[in-house]
Structure 1
């Protein structure tokens, strides 16, 4: 991928963008401390201008958007009729246009679907990535970034995770939730600003980190991502995504019946777990690696990372019936490794679940 950051010393770049600058763990520390920004080349900006944009998006997606105020951050899911996740987007509106930040692998499909759903409404969704890029980091780090503001409202999306948005519902009962430690925002910037940031980094005036570092902090926060943690069967309940992306009492939208039925009358068939992986092996499991109890395959890894404090960690989706106290085995190229599970979505998740408050199992928590 062509990026202005490719010329930085040690830069490792692939089709998603800048992966790292040679020291992913040091880059994580800088990110967590609010001293670095990340060029998010794996994101695409979609623009949805038009007078009907918010009511239109409200009618199509899981989020209540009709009254979204300019500058307020939220996120949405597009579900299929069975309630399975098809697309996801981070959303900020500037009073004239709704700006969607979307995983690159999901952008074309979402844009195609949105264009098909216009009918005669006053909306005109388009790919704005030729003019805009995305840069991530803490609020403090993004102070060095000038976000685009075509209508006078700075286009900065502040991640609502793990707070429970109006109309949402939390399944994870961990105190404190690991995501509370993650200060994360994403700024939409012009291509000129992107080049300015790259020039500042080359002079040593700006600290830059790569996507590997950003993703490790995301995994540690149990934050789901469409391009990694969602397969063709995924329901938002299974990932604790009712928390920030689903409004349970808004009007009808595709997939709403399943969302309500699973939440109010049943339990999601699978559940997200966080894994503390055996640190004696230097090999991380690949996305899709089998998770087993003994010889029985009970799920698959969705994301894995080497965290600068917690060591090797992962997110996985397992069958609801998997015992919460079971020690799991995860397949890697070097053979199976053991993994202690932290319950993110409990087996009885739903509106009537009685979930006790739990404390963290992480190495970081146990060391303090």
Structure 2
């Protein structure tokens, strides 16, 4: 019998291509690699990420009009995150940003760079900027763990200040400190022809060689969403925690701004990102895109699914805002349905007071309905 959940997620059974297939998934022992990230330091090859560069004297003011983040006065040697939205405020692109000297770097999901670059090039008009693809020139290595500063120092690299400092590297590239995943992290973006040399230097300095399985496990633990794994074509920034890290609420002049402001001031986002604890074996775990079900009805969407070295099988999921923290849920489809429970620490309870815009409307109407 076909259930409503099956009808809403009729493509969930088709396993999506692995976005990280181009780089090593592990270096022999994924749980040990995770433990190194949690307790010391490990380095991961993320050289499949696309990297764009934007140069020109108007680079910051121009990007400020296109991105959700406040970058018009972004100091040199500073990083951040930013989004590109559609007219309805739905997330199209997510990028890690670094500003060094006379260049802004945007590194994005594998395969996303061409589409983002096409959009940027169409928006140049008469601005004095030059966006281009540097993916063939630069490669991303990610250091994760509390010993990241020690590893960088032993490798002869100045340690950028936490959480978003950037330091340029001699010979090209930069190091960007990041607040996730894990207790500390840094992206070491290096010339692609020097990637192996940098890998050797970082491992010789004490970082354990690791793969993307370990990186993704700690990313899920930190509840840091990943575009198209933990988002769908309806996702708005408020649902997945990108307000603040990637969206500046007081700036304007970007596509989708109206939706961002309306939800922030007048309402609550329709869904929330939570961490699910799963009760299933390795072969029975749900896949990205599978439904989350409550009482036989669709309640959400499964995002990234991982085996965590301490938490066991867990997943990020977008669930309806009406789903209570203690709801009895299942996640998955077909023969991979698993009982699921929301991690209480990942569930941010809505404040008792209404959003500021709705409260203002209520006061203006003498206490009447804000709707």
Q: TM-score, normalised by structure 1?
A: 0.80
Change (3 A) 1:240 1:351: farther
User: Which residue of the other structure, out of 174, 186, 196, is the alignment partner of 1:155?
Assistant: 174
SS across alignment from 1:125: strand
In structure 1, the residue matched to 2:77 is 71
CA distance in 2, matches of 1:198, 1:149: 17
Name which of structure 1's ranges 222-231 and 251-260 shifts more when overlaid on structure 2: 222-231
**Aligned in 2, Cα 1:108/1:120: closer, same or farther, shift over 3 Å?**
same
Match of 2:238 in 1: 237
Structure 1 unaligned spans of 5+: 1-12, 162-178, 355-368
1:143 to partner: Cα distance: 4.3
Equivalent residue of 1:301, what SS?
A: strand
1:34 to partner: Cα distance: 3.1
What's the RMSD between the two structures over aligned residues? Answer: 2.9
3-state SS of the aligned residue for 1:208?
A: strand
Q: Which has the larger radius of gyration?
A: 2
Whole-angstrom distance in 2 between the partners of 1:115 and 1:66 = 19
Q: How does 1:182-261 map to 2 (within 5 A)?
A: 182-199=183-200, 207-261=208-262
Asked whether the 8 Å contact 1:20–1:211 carries over to 2, the reply is yes
Alignment of 1:55-134 (within 5 A): 55-134=61-140
Distance 1:345 1:313, change over 3 A: same
Give CA deviations for 1:300-344 in whole Å, capped at 9, x if unaligned: 101111111111110001122223320210115644211111364
Q: CA distance change for structure 1 residues 193 and 60 in 2, over 3 Å: closer, same or farther?
A: same
Give the Cα separation in 2 of the matches to 1:321 and 1:351: 17
Give the secondary-structure state (helix, strand or coil) at the position aligned to 2:25: strand
* Matched residue, 2:311: 310
Matches of 2:156 and 2:82 in 1, distance apart? 25
Distance 1:55 1:151, change over 3 A: farther
The residue that corresponds to 1:170 in the other structure is: none
Give the alignment's TM-score, normalised by structure 2: 0.79
Runs of 4+ in 1 over 6 A off after TM superposition: 150-154, 201-205
Which digits, 9 at most, give the CA deviation of each residue in 1:274-298, with x for residues without a partner?
A: 1011155653321001110121111
Q: How many angstroms does 1:42 deviate by?
A: 3.4
Partner of 1:226, secondary structure, is: coil
1:37 paired to 2:56: no
- 1:86 deviates by 0.6
Greater mean deviation of Cα atoms: 143-152 or 119-128: 143-152
Structure 2 CA distance for aligned equivalents of residues 22 and 28 of structure 1: 12
- Aligned equivalents of 2:333, 2:194: Cα separation in 1: 41
Q: Write the distance in 2 (CA, Å) between the matches of 1:86 and 1:116.
A: 16
How far has the Cα of 1:31 moved from its partner?
Answer: 1.9
- Does residue 292 of structure 1 match 2:278? no
Query: Are residues 247 and 160 of structure 1, via their aligned partners in 2, closer, same or farther at CA, if it must alter by over 3 Å?
Result: farther
Deviations 1:336-361 (A, max 9, x none): 2111113646474799469xxxxxxx
Q: Is the 8 A contact 2:68 2:254 kept in 1?
A: yes
**For residues 173 and 33 of structure 2, what CA distance do their matches in structure 1 show?**
26
- Residues 109 and 198 of structure 1: is their aligned pair in 2 closer, same or farther, counting only changes over 3 Å? same
Offset, 1:215 = 0.5
**Alpha-carbon offset, residue 95 of structure 1:** 2.2
**Higher mean C-alpha displacement, 206-215 vs 342-351:** 342-351
